[in-house]
Structure 1
Amino acid sequence: MTKDHGPSIKNDEKYEALRKEGMSKQKAARIANDPNSGKKGGKADKYNERSKQELYDQAKEIGIEGRSKMSKQQLISALRNS
């Protein structure tokens, strides 16, 4: 049975699976709370094909700090490592 992690975690089962894979609490929570997580099936645009604004918006959505001063390459790197 999946443990209830409280109202801050929307998908407890996914959160626990990600934590077992070794993800940090913060990253696991961010993915578990994203309603679009895992639904694209590999069909999302590659980061290099997105505009800087699209990358910025995604970085804002997941809470990457310092994004307003980042170049497109820095945004891509931050998104890949978040």
Structure 2
Amino acid sequence: MSKKHGPSIKNSDQYEALLDKGMSKEKAARISNDPNSGKKGGKAKDYEERTKKELYQKAKEVGIPNRSKMSKAELIKALRNN
């Protein structure tokens, strides 16, 4: 049974499932609000295959602080741990 989360949560069932798995509210909301979330067959490149500029843009979308001072390796680590 889903709870009311208001209009900011697009996929309430997925949001609740992610919270039950121990994810933070912010990360669960970000994943459940992604229009491609839950679809199979994703073909995203590994972080190591992306350019630093691409990683920076992704970090910006996610809201990682101090990203402008990070190296490519640091951006990858921050994205994986966020």
Q: State the TM-score, normalized to the length of structure 2.
A: 0.89
Number of equivalenced pairs: 82
- 1:80 CA drift (Å): 0.3
Unpaired runs of 5+ residues, structure 2, are: none
1:27 aligns to what?
A: 27
Determine the C-alpha separation between the residues in 2 that align with 1:26 and 1:60: 15
Unpaired runs of 5+ residues, structure 1, are: none
Q: State the TM-score, normalized to the length of structure 1.
A: 0.89
Q: Which string of whole-angstrom CA distances, capped at 9 and with x for unpartnered residues, describes residues 21-68 of structure 1?
A: 011111111111122234363521000000001101111111111111
The sequence identity of aligned pairs, in percent, is: 71
Residue 57 in structure 1 maps to residue 50 in structure 2:
no
Taking only aligned residues, the RMSD between alpha carbons, in angstroms, comes to 1.4
1:62-73 alignment runs, 5 A limit? 62-73=62-73
Letter in 2 for 1:17: A
Q: CA 1:51–1:30 in 2, change beyond 3 Å: closer, same or farther?
A: same
Letter in 1 for 2:19: R
2:3 aligns to what?
A: 3
